[in-house]
Structures are given as structure tokens and as C-alpha cells.
């Protein structure tokens, strides 16, 4: 019997963003799947409902891939796929496998010879890059910068150097409650002419995306506390 297909299902980045997040193909696909591997069962069920799931949720098989379960044996997650059933993989927000622990599930699926199909949906990293005006042909996503201020300052200088040397967009994030601290360090560390794009609350009614030089940002600093934000550095 041939294996089923693992579908990578993007979910909204923000509240009340379902209409701008789900494609008709995605809606059709979730209504043909009744088994899911998810990072958070409660929010996954909510997203499926918003997307137009017609299958009664009591009939769904949900595998919990939260941080408390990642070290456990995940063999059960693949039994449905091995039996020929399609399975959906969902992250907490955005695209599975992109800055997301679901990459481990995808890796194992490939090793087992299971077909993997990514579905169209919002990626905060790519949306921020699109809106930044920076180099979209050469870019690097670094994830989280160091928490230690000395190490973080060193890293910002390193990224600024890479951006200038290679004309390459440098992309990074921070835990939302530390955004203001990170921004403060960037503004104190980077050169005046270096350009910084701040992409905040993407796809939400409070979405904020602006690109300015460091000198321009220093004149008026935005409030980013507890707001999901992507930072992008570039230097022409």
C-alpha cells in the first residue's frame, strides 16, 4: 500500500486574519484530511474551524507535537501515513518548518519516503522581506539574537557587516516582550546610514511596516512591546 501524503498547512499570523490567510485549495485539502500533527491542539482546532472545516472535530485524530512531547517517540505520528492516509502538519502560527519545530517531522517523513506537499499561506519572514524594499535575491534568516547585551551588540555589528559586504538582507526576530530592548540595542549599535525595516503585527489590523535609516528611526522609536515583529537590516 502506498504511503499517504504529509501536507504542510500554514495558519494565520494574527487574530481575525483568516480571510487573508486561507486559500480555496487549502480549505478543500483540510476537508479531505482527518489526522493532524500540531504544535498546539487548542489553537489548531480553532484555525481549522475558521478555515471552514466540515468534518466534526470529534472525528479528528490530533497528535501533540508541543515542546513537552518532541523528545518522545513520534512513531505513532506516522502510522496513518504508513497506512496510506493523508496527514496535515500545523505550526502555532505561520508556515510549518519555517522557524518552526515541525521541520523535524518533515525531515523524518523524507527519510521514510513519504511525500511532502507545502500549501500556500502566510510566512511572516517572507512578507516582511517583500515589504522591506531590501535585497530579495540574497538574504539570511538568523532566528533569535543573543539575549546577553554584550553578545547581542556584537551580533548586530556582525550582521551589519555582512549586509554591507555582501549586499545581503539580514533578517532576525526576538521574543515579543524583548522587542523594545533589542530595538534599543540596534539603534545604539548600527551605523546611522544602515537601513532597518520593522515589520510588526503582519496581516493584523494594527500591521506596521516601515523602512528607515538608523538615524531616522532614532528620531521616533516605535512601541513594539509584545507585538510579533520581524527585523531586517540592509546596507547599500
Q: Are residues 128 and 109 in the same domain?
A: no
Q: Are residues 143 and 225 in the same domain?
A: yes
**Distances, alpha carbon 109 to alpha carbons 32, 57, 94, 114, 217, in Å:** 20, 25, 20, 5, 45
* 215-230 residue pLDDT tens: 999 999 999 999 999 9
Residue 101: what pLDDT?
87
Of residues 149, 151, 115, 133, the one with CA closest to residue 195: 133
User: Are 208 and 152 in a shared domain?
Assistant: yes
Question: What is the rounded (10 degree) CA torsion for 192, 227, 180, 163?
Answer: -30
188 pLDDT higher than 90: yes
CATH number at residue 34: 3.40.1010.10
Same domain membership, residue 108 and residue 76 = yes
Residue 1, pLDDT > 90, answer no
Residue 134 and residue 40 share a domain: no
Residue 109 has pLDDT above 90, yes or no: yes
Q: Is the pLDDT of residue 68 over 80?
A: no
- Tens-place pLDDT, residues 154-183: 999 999 999 999 999 999 999 999 999 999
Q: Is the pLDDT reported for residue 45 higher than 90? A: yes
The mean pLDDT of the chain is: 94
- Residue ranges of alpha helices (H) inside 41-136 are 41-51, 79-82, 103-111, 124-132
164 class by beta-carbon count within 10 Å (0-12 exposed, 13-18 middle, 19+ buried): middle
Final residue belonging to a domain, choices 69, 97, 118: 118
Question: How large is the average pLDDT for residues 41-54?
Answer: 92
Given a cut of 80, is residue 20 above it in pLDDT?
yes
Same domain, 108 and 11: yes
Domain end marker among 99, 118, 137: 118
Give yes or no for residue 106 having a pLDDT over 90: yes
- C-beta of residue 128 within 8 angstroms of C-beta of residue 229: no
**142 lies in the same domain as 157:** yes
Write down the pTM of the prediction: 0.92
Sheet with 35-38, side-by-side order of all strands = 61-64, 35-38, 87-90, 5-9, 115-118
Question: What is the pLDDT at residue 74?
Answer: 84
User: In whole angstroms, what separates CA 41 from the centre of its chain?
Assistant: 18
Domain closes at, from 83, 118, 153: 118
Instruction: For residues 73 and 34, state if they share a domain.
Output: yes
User: Dihedrals φ, ψ of 78, to 5°?
Assistant: -105, 0
Q: How many domains does the chain have?
A: 2
Q: Are residues 78 and 128 in the same domain?
A: no
What's the rounded mean pLDDT across residues 115-132? 96
Mark whether 79 and 161 lie in a shared domain: no
Are 174 and 89 in a shared domain?
no
Residue 130 belongs to domain with CATH number: 3.30.950.10
Task: Give pLDDT tens digits for 193-210.
Answer: 999 999 999 999 999 999
Whether 69 has a pLDDT exceeding 70, the answer reads: no
Q: Which residue range(s) make up the domain with 161?
A: 124-234
Confidence grade of residue 19 (pLDDT, cut at 50, 70, 90):
confident
Are 183 and 198 in contact by the 8 Å Cβ rule? The answer is: yes
Amino acid at each position: 500500500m502506498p504511503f499517504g501524503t504529509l501536507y504542510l498547512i500554514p495558519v494565520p499570523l494574527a487574530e481575525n486574519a483568516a480571510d487573508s490567510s486561507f486559500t480555496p485549495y487549502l480549505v478543500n485539502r483540510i476537508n479531505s484530511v482527518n489526522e493532524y500533527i500540531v504544535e498546539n491542539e487548542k489553537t489548531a482546532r480553532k484555525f481549522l474551524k475558521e478555515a471552514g472545516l466540515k468534518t466534526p472535530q470529534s472525528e479528528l485524530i490530533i497528535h501533540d507535537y508541543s515542546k513537552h512531547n518532541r523528545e518522545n517517540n513520534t512513531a505513532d505520528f506516522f502510522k496513518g501515513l504508513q497506512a496510506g492516509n493523508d496527514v496535515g502538519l500545523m505550526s502555532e502560527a505561520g508556515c510549518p518548518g519555517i522557524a518552526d519545530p515541525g521541520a523535524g517531522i518533515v525531515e523524518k517523513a523524507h527519510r521514510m519516503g513519504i511525500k511532502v506537499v507545502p500549501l500556500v499561506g502566510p510566512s511572516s519572514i517572507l512578507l516582511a522581506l517583500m515589504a522591506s524594499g531590501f535585497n530579495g535575491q540574497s538574504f539570511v534568516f538568523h532566528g533569535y539574537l543573543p539575549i546577553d547585551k554584550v553578545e547581542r551588540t556584537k551580533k548586530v555589528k556582525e550582521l551589519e557587516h555582512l549586509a554591507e559586504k555582501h549586499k545581503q538582507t539580514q533578517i532576525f526576530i526576538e521574543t515579543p516582550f524583548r522587542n523594545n530592548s533589542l530595538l534599543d540595542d540596534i539603534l545604539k549599535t548600527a551605523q546611522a546610514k544602515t537601513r532597518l525595516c520593522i515589520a510588526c503585527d503582519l496581516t493584523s489590523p494594527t500591521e506596521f511596516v516601515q523602512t528607515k535609516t538608523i538615524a531616522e528611526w532614532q528620531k521616533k522609536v516605535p512601541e513594539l512591546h509584545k507585538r510579533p515583529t520581524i527585523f531586517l537590516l540592509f546596507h547599500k
